[in-house]
């Protein structure tokens, strides 16, 4: 779409390009008149990962002038390299996000490139994007802190959404109309470290997440932490190693923080280990352990203890060599290991799991996150629920070929191995979710007093239930948008509805035409009158 075409557009609209068919792939297009923006650009983390549906942009030949990111999770940011590779961005397009989001996205995008390479190679497909696209995308980032900004013709505000480090809601004021995109809302039950949920204030349109909209409240976070600690302590006291598979960003820091708080109560011999991407995310958590991003509890702890690493136990370390990892689970030691991924798919957690089953009679695996259908973590939970003694799973882990059952390529690398895990090793602890449930989402929504709400980021059934719940409690119009559904934004300037310039042009043309007609009629009338006068004279 040329710049002139953009200048003359008379409609402002939102189109839902993703995040409307479940909890993944958030992506919303905002036609702001002279400019085009996206709010979030996430992938569906299935196998293989799926980019957002850009067919709408394609059909209308739209180039994006800027992207606003609510937070780093790949279901909100993983589509960015596709956007770059498929040339949907203008040359000057910037990506606006908080500073920590910018750093976390960098870590996640490089990691997702590795997965993308592996997936496409396994399926004999071409890569959709490569290193250069990630480099270009990262070069477009403009990091900001929570606060108010102006970009082109828009007023923008970012505020804490208490979901992960740097997460925010984004409020955009477009010709007087206020639109808030909630992103993922964590809320007050999670203020153990992140800055408290901020209030976006009055809004006309709210695009709201609904992940746990079918639950009134989340289970107690404090109780969940106590449960995890109890499991850890019991196992270590019995000389059984503990593996906590964890998502590298957020959950790992929470788990390691709770271990740090009670570290002195664990057996002296305990080796506390974290591995993989946790280490990079950890340095972001520590660099941004500031008043801008963390709550008072963390800031007070830092100043009272002089400990600049509040998310890390004193004794914790990251193994750097394979021998170190190999030695950790030799059958003699009883380490406490926190490693990604949380579902035992990828990362270091599958490797440690293999070692545990090989060398130990008893051990503990504590699952604290959502386990997607088909994942190794889900299989463990299902077998436990079905009261099976053991469950056989195939895991993919980085290992030497002689230890693998099935080889993916030659040499040292990711290979497959079948293992049997006793189900009494498996424990699940709920209550760590990074999302608010219905009551907290209602509180947040009440503060924004929206005229219209669009429910996104939720399973279809959940959204329906949440809609009914909100309708009982609010007077807002509530809608569940479909994929690529368009919604027109009524704009107002200084409280009045603005008339778009095209309408004025059309009216002027109409008036001109009418004036010409009047002149014509007046001439005809004059002629007739003159004729009439002449006729009258003759008759006289
Ligand atoms: Zn998220």
Q: For every residue of 188-241, which 3-state class applies, written as one string? A: HHHCCCECCCCCCCCCCEEEEECCECCCCCCCCHHHHHHHHHHHHHHHHHCCCC
Report CA(326)–ligand 1 centroid distance (Å): 33
CB 490 within 8 Å of CB 241 = no
Span from the CA of 422 to the centroid of ligand 1 (angstroms) = 32
Query: What is the distance in A from the centroid of ligand 1 to the CA of 170?
Result: 14
CA 64 to ligand 1 centroid distance, Å: 23
Domain ranges in the chain? 9-217+434-494, 223-428
Distance (Å) from CA 23 to ligand 1 centroid: 9
235 alpha carbon – ligand 1 mean position (Å) = 31
Specify the residue for token string 């593996």. 243
CA of 240 to the centre of ligand 1 (A): 33
Going by their DSSP bridges, the two strands 141-144 and 147-151 should be labelled as: unpaired
Burial 241-261 (b: 16+ CB within 10 A, else e): bbbbbbbbbbbbbbbbbbbbe
Cα(267) to centroid of ligand 1, in Å? 35
Q: How far is the CA of 338 from the centre of ligand 1 (A)?
A: 20
Q: Give distance in angstroms: CA of 229 to centre of ligand 1.
A: 25
Q: What's the 187 CA to ligand 1 centre distance in angstroms?
A: 13
What is the CA(184)–ligand 1 centre distance, in A?
5
Residue 458 Cα, ligand 1 centroid: separation in angstroms? 12
* Ligand 1 center–CA 332 separation, angstroms: 39
C-alpha 71 – ligand 1 centre gap (Å): 7
Considering only the top CATH level, what class is 9-217+434-494?
Answer: alpha beta
Q: How far apart are CA 106 and CA 337, in angstroms?
A: 25
Please tell me the predicted confidence (pLDDT) of residue 188: 59
CA–centroid distance, residue 463 to ligand 1 (Å)? 17
Q: 70 vs 66, 184, 469, CA distance in Å?
A: 13, 8, 25
540 residues of the chain, pLDDT tens digit each: 666 677 777 789 999 999 888 888 899 999 998 899 999 999 987 667 788 889 999 999 999 999 999 999 999 999 999 999 999 999 999 999 999 999 999 999 999 998 898 888 888 899 999 999 999 999 999 999 999 999 887 899 999 999 999 999 999 999 999 999 999 999 655 667 999 999 999 999 999 999 999 999 988 889 999 999 999 999 999 999 999 999 999 999 999 999 999 999 999 999 999 999 999 999 999 999 999 999 999 999 999 999 999 999 999 999 999 899 999 999 999 999 999 999 998 889 999 999 999 999 999 999 998 888 889 999 999 999 999 999 999 998 888 778 888 766 667 777 889 999 999 999 999 989 889 999 999 999 999 999 999 999 999 999 999 999 999 999 999 999 999 999 999 887 644 455 566 777 888 889 999 999 999 999 999 999 888 888 887 776
Distance 433 CA to ligand 1 centre (A): 10
The Å distance, Cα 87 to ligand 1 centre, comes to 26
CA of 183 to the centre of ligand 1 (A): 8
- Residue 330 is given by DSSP the state S
519 alpha carbon – ligand 1 mean position (Å): 66
- Centroid of ligand 1 to alpha carbon of 366 (angstroms): 21
Phi, psi for residue 395 in degrees, rounded to 5: -115, 150
The residue written with tokens 């498929």 in the block is: 86
N-term to C-term CA, the chain = 72
Supply φ then ψ for residue 62, to 5 degrees.
-95, 130
Ligand 1: centre distance to CA 68 (Å): 15
Task: Find the 497 Cα to ligand 1 centroid distance in Å.
Answer: 35
User: Quick one: which of 196, 186, 209 has its CA closest to 470?
Assistant: 209
403 CA from centroid of ligand 1 (Å): 36
Q: Kindly give the distance from the C-alpha atom of residue 163 to the centroid of ligand 1, in angstroms, as a whole number.
A: 7
Q: Which stretches within 123-189 are classed as H helix?
A: 131-139
CA of 253 to the centre of ligand 1 (A): 15
Q: How far is the CA of 291 from the centre of ligand 1 (A)?
A: 22
CA distance 311 to 260: 7
Sign of the alpha-carbon torsion through 219, 225, 228, 229 = negative
Q: How far is the CA of 114 from the centre of ligand 1 (A)?
A: 21
Distance 441 CA to ligand 1 centre (A): 15
Task: Look at the alpha carbons of 352, 357, 363, 368 in this order and tell me if their dihedral is positive or negative.
Answer: positive
- Kindly report the CATH number that applies to the domain delimited by 223-428: 3.40.50.10890
Give me ligand 1 centre to Cα 42, in Å: 10
* pLDDT reported for residue 495: 46
């Amino acid at each position: 779409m040329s710049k002139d075409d953009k200048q003359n557009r008379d409609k402002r609209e939102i189109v839902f390009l993703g995040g409307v068919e479940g909890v993944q792939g958030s992506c919303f297009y905002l036609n702001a008149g002279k400019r085009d923006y996206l709010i979030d650009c996430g992938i569906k983390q299935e196998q293989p990962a799926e980019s957002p549906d850009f067919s709408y942009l394609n059909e209308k030949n739209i180039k994006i002038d800027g992207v606003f990111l609510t937070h780093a999770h790949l279901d909100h940011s993983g589509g960015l390299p596709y956007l770059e590779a498929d040339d949907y961005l203008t040359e000057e397009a910037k990506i606006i996000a908080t500073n920590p989001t910018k750093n976390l996205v960098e870590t996640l995008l490089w990691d997702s490139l590795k997965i993308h390479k592996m997936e496409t190679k396994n399926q004999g497909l071409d890569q959709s994007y490569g290193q250069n696209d990630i480099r270009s995308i990262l070069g477009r980032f403009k990091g900001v802190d929570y606060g108010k900004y102006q970009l082109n013709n828009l007023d923008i505000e970012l505020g804490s959404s208490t979901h992960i480090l740097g997460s925010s809601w984004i409020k955009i004021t477009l010709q007087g109309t206020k639109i808030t995109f909630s992103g993922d809302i964590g809320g007050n039950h999670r203020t153990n470290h992140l800055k408290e949920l901020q209030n976006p204030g009055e809004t006309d349109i709210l695009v709201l997440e609904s992940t746990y909209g079918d639950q009134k409240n989340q289970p107690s976070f404090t109780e969940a932490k106590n449960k995890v600690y109890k499991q850890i302590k019991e196992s270590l006291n019995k000389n059984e190693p503990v593996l906590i598979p964890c998502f590298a960003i957020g959950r790992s820091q929470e788990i390691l923080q709770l271990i740090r708080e009670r570290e002195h109560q664990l057996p002296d011999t305990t080796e506390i280990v974290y591995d993989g991407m946790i280490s990079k995310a950890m340095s972001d958590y520590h660099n941004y352990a500031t008043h801008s991003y963390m709550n008072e509890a963390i800031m007070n702890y830092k100043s009272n203890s002089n400990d600049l690493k509040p998310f890390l136990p004193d004794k914790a370390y990251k193994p750097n060599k394979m021998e170190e990892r190999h030695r950790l689970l030799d059958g003699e030691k009883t380490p406490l290991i926190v490693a990604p991924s949380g579902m035992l798919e990828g990362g270091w957690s599958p490797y440690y799991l293999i070692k545990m089953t090989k060398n130990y009679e008893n051990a503990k695996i504590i699952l604290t996150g959502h386990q997607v259908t088909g994942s190794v973590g889900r299989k463990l939970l299902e077998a436990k629920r079905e009261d099976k003694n053991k469950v056989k799973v195939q895991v993919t882990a980085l290992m030497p070929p002689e230890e693998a059952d099935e080889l993916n390529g030659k040499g040292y690398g990711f290979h497959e191995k079948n293992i049997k895990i006793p189900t009494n090793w498996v424990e699940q602890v709920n209550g760590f979710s990074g999302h608010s449930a219905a009551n907290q989402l209602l509180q947040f929504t009440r503060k924004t007093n929206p005229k219209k709400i669009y429910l996104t980021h939720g399973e279809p059934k959940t959204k329906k239930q949440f809609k009914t719940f909100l309708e009982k409690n609010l007077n807002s119009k509530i809608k569940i948008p479909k994929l690529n559904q368009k919604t027109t934004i009524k704009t107002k300037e200084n409280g009045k509805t603005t008339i778009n310039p095209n309408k004025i042009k059309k009216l002027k043309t109409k008036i001109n035409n009418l004036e010409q007609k009047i002149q014509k009629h007046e001439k005809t009338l004059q002629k007739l009158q003159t004729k009439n006068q002449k006729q009258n004279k003759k008759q006289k």
